[in-house]
Amino acid sequence: MNDRRTFLRYLGASGLWLATPGAFAEELARTPRQTEGPFYPDHLPLDTDNDLIVIGKATPAMGTIAHVTGRILTTSGEPVSNVTVEIWQCDVNGVYLHKGSNNRDKQDKNFQGFGRFETGRRGEYRFRTIKPVPYDNRCPHIHFAIDKGGKRMLTTQLYIKGEPLNEKDGVYKAIKDPKDKALLVSDFTPVKKSRIAEVSAHFDIVIGSTPEDPKGDSFRQRRS
């Protein structure tokens, strides 16, 4: 009987540990920081929602439609709500929303090129955009920025897993640790039963507790 009581007390104590968020959990690796690049929009589009494919009632953008989803997490695995996730990328012709981008005469006017989404209590975000394409000497990628409380927490990029051009890309090759590289790639897999050959990618982003900018300046403040 004494052994049974001891065992039950042990189970009770164990249950408390198991019910504690982060108990015995291994700390998640932070998503590596990447350069912002030269082509963050120098003029934001009138529409900055999370659907980059359609602007108003215009013709949809050219390219393969991609559904990009994920969560913003802390290093302990907790979801982060009320953060703004920004993405920007070139269109199917390799043109950014920036006057310095090449091939401006070929810009797809139906591609939004930039979007924002505010996470809910589960830290989830989602965008409908196009599968990234290469341009100039860069491999396909999507830029990400995470803004919390007016402060830039992380700037990074998402790459296509298995893309042959990755290892020829200077920014990607600058990541020396294979584990860090693995944190920045995702499969862009075909969406089942899609009649228009859509793809989807999942990209969880782990942020620290302090802004990446020592001054804590808001990205939007710097751009205003």
CATH number for 135: 2.60.130.10
Bigger pLDDT: 196 vs 16: 196
When pLDDT is cut at 50, 70 and 90, the band that residue 15 belongs to is very low
103 within domain boundaries: yes
Spatial distance between the Cα atoms of 146 and 126, rounded to a whole number of angstroms = 13
107 within domain boundaries: yes
Q: For residue 23, is pLDDT > 50?
A: no
165 within domain boundaries: yes
Q: For residue 61, is pLDDT > 90?
A: yes
151 within domain boundaries: yes
* pLDDT tens string 73-101: 999 999 999 999 999 999 999 999 999 99
61 within domain boundaries: yes
- Tokens representing 90 are 């070139």
Domain residues for the domain of 150 are 26-223
pLDDT, the chain, mean: 87
* pLDDT tens string 135-151: 999 999 999 999 999 99
Q: How much of the chain, in percent, has pLDDT values that exceed 70?
A: 83
Q: For residue 1, is pLDDT > 50?
A: no
44 within domain boundaries: yes
78 within domain boundaries: yes
Spatial distance between the Cα atoms of 218 and 184, rounded to a whole number of angstroms = 24
155, 174, 223 from 130: Cα distances, Å: 20, 25, 25
CA Rg value for the chain: 21
Domain count, the chain: 1
**The pTM is what?**
0.85
15 within domain boundaries: no
